[in-house]
């Protein structure tokens, strides 16, 4: 009987603690919403001269852009979708 009483008290404490944590998390998000100041604003990314976009794929917060270069080669450009920052460039030319 004593063990059951301790178990009920422990579960009550966990229930109250979880409710308090939930209220704190929700009120924190309401008071300080995620920054949406730059959301929806266009990003400007410089392309090589004469290049054209062949395709673009979004995966999470990354954008992979495939470019056809003026000289006949191709380039893959990896961008951060949130900031427009260029993360990597892969030269996919055949080497000739």
Measure the CA–CA gap between 34 and 29, rounded to whole angstroms. 8
Q: How confident is the model at residue 40, as a pLDDT?
A: 64
Q: How confident is the model at residue 54, as a pLDDT?
A: 95
Measure the CA–CA gap between 45 and 56, rounded to whole angstroms. 13
- Give tens-digit pLDDT for 62-90: 999 999 998 889 999 999 888 888 999 99
Q: How confident is the model at residue 45, as a pLDDT?
A: 81
Q: How confident is the model at residue 92, as a pLDDT?
A: 80
Higher pLDDT, 48 or 23: 23
Average of per-residue pLDDT values in the chain: 87
């Amino acid at each position: 009987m004593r063990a059951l009483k301790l178990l009920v008290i422990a579960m009550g404490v966990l229930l109250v603690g979880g409710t308090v944590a939930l209220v704190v998390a929700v009120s924190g998000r309401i008071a300080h919403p995620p920054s949406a100041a730059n959301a929806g604003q266009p990003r400007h990314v410089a392309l090589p001269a004469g290049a054209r976009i062949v395709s673009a794929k979004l995966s999470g917060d990354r954008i992979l852009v495939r470019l056809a270069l003026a000289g006949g080669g191709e380039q893959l450009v990896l961008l951060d979708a949130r900031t427009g920052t260029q993360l990597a460039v892969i030269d996919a030319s055949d080497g000739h």
